Amino acid sequence: MTQIHPTAIVSPGAQLGQDVEVGAFCTVGSQVQLGDGVRLVSHVVIEGATQIGAGTTVHPFAVLGGAPQHLAHKGEETRLVIGERNIIREHVTMHTGTVGGGGVTKIGSDSLYMVGAHVAHDCIVGDRVTFANNATLGGHVVIGDFVFMGGLCAVHQFTRIGRYSFVGGGGVVTKDIIPYGSVWGNHAHLEGLNLVGLKRRGFTREAINALRAAYRLLFADEGTFQERLDDVAEAHADTPEVMEIVDFIRSEANRPLCLPEREV
């Protein structure tokens, strides 16, 4: 049974699923959709055209669906879509999209957003990600599945971060990060592969060894980068994990590629 605290404000037009809990002093706007089992603990603001998937819990003082922080935004109706079974902790902010950026900010499922994390307009965030405290995304950032964002890190607008990557605490990311990469620093540079994450996620020894060999070849100091990329693609054509890196590098991008500080 859905429960709404007497001090909460739920606007007419809001759509609430089964077994939703709206805690004390929450505000739910007229265009909001809350899936089954969504829990707003207390003092939560959900506004704009925001959809929150089933089983998601939102903790106090989070604000979801606010207008994008973009000077070109003139009040057009844009959206925020959040997946299922997420944990969104205190003071997290997630904004709707912009007309120029496609009109929607998309958040995946089964993820943890710790205190003070921020997702800006038009971002696309995958499933099973972790944002540590105060991790911040600029607009139009794309985050793959299983990414870990360290505390206090910041990501430049339009940056892509590939699946299973790790961003160290306090990192300032201004360039695209390959899948399975590990980056640190201000500005962030590629330190290697996210080997700890790969082992924790159950990747086979064969896949990890192939990734390590491909990494060494790709970031060596012989030939041009394009030649080395082609060599990696040829040598590891039957390894999906390696080819994911190759395809990521070859795909269209708005930012340069994050590289090691020195050849490996």
Q: Which residues are catalytic?
A: 121-122, 139
Paired tokens of 137: 């995304």
Count how many residues are written for the chain.
264
Burial of 260 (0-12, 13-18, 19+ CB in 10 A): middle
Give the position of tokens 């603990």: 41
Residue 133's Cβ-count burial label (10 Å; 0-12, 13-18, 19+) is: middle
